[in-house]
Homo-oligomer: A and B are copies of this chain.
């Protein structure tokens, strides 16, 4: 993301001759200065993906007018499209449980403005991090979850997310499976970090599964949440080498470093509108 204020157009549409020409000519005709541009033509789905950053001060009008002027082109090419303004910070609601690593990591990035977002609140099923979160001046909501209260707890999380006008919900090792209705309510807006290299070791205790299988590398996966467990579109993955001397506890420890790094990268791509959905796969314009 460039330091200047910019508008980011991200779009996908059926591939055909002339898409770039039309969009780029539109921008040039309005004297728009392009900071960064990425394209991808997907041969399998015959779909075209693009992301363009335009310097805000190079245009003589505002975001609303930009959207209004661009709409006819988007309709002509049947685009899924969006234009965002880097001056409007995304609102990220963070859900945690009792593990500290992703939470500390996200708040460190937020504190230094490396992760340039608003965090309107943190929600947890435990009280563990109330003090730490509130010390940062961020509201903390304790929403306990039990087998019986599950539905009610989810409703409360949704209420808090809506109240906070959240753009994206981040499951920073939240350790709770969300009900299908909730996943479907926010497609492409709930980002999870799973502690394995998916599709290996879906579900519970992946480090234990990895240990038993005797793999030589373990990983972590940042993905969008969908109703099917750990099967949503993958945004980012990484791995770390282990060996026979490492216990399950060592795997958990190494894994934490990968988890927080992968989540931070994946969230950043999402926040900067670098992730476009292509069925159950993602285009990530890094």
Binding site for B on A (CB under 8 A): 2-3, 17-18, 20-22, 24-25, 27-29, 31-43, 49, 58, 99-101, 104-105, 107-108, 111-112, 114, 131-132, 135, 197-201, 212-217, 219, 233-239, 241, 243-245, 247, 249, 253, 256-257, 261, 264, 278, 280-284, 286
Contacts and interface: CB of A to CB of B under 8 A. Distances in A.
A34 B25 contact: no
B264 A257 contact: yes
B244 A281 contact: yes
25 contacts: A3-B249, A20-B20, A20-B27, A21-B25, A24-B24, A24-B25, A34-B39, A36-B41, A36-B245, A43-B247, A100-B111, A100-B112, A104-B105, A104-B111, A105-B108, A114-B253, A198-B200, A199-B200, A199-B201, A199-B213, A199-B215, A214-B282, A217-B219, A244-B283, A244-B284
Given A215-B237, A249-B3, A28 B21 contact: yes
A106 B153 CA distance: 33
Contacts of A35: 41
Contacts of A244: 40, 42, 49, 278, 281-284
Contacts of A32: 17
Nearest to A265: B257
B37 A20 contact: yes
A234 B216 contact: yes
A49 B243 CA distance: 14
> Among the interface residues A31, A199, A241, which one has the most CB atoms of the partner chain B within 10 A?
A199
- Smallest CB-CB A-B distances: 5 pairs: A214-B281, A104-B108, A21-B28, A21-B24, A18-B28
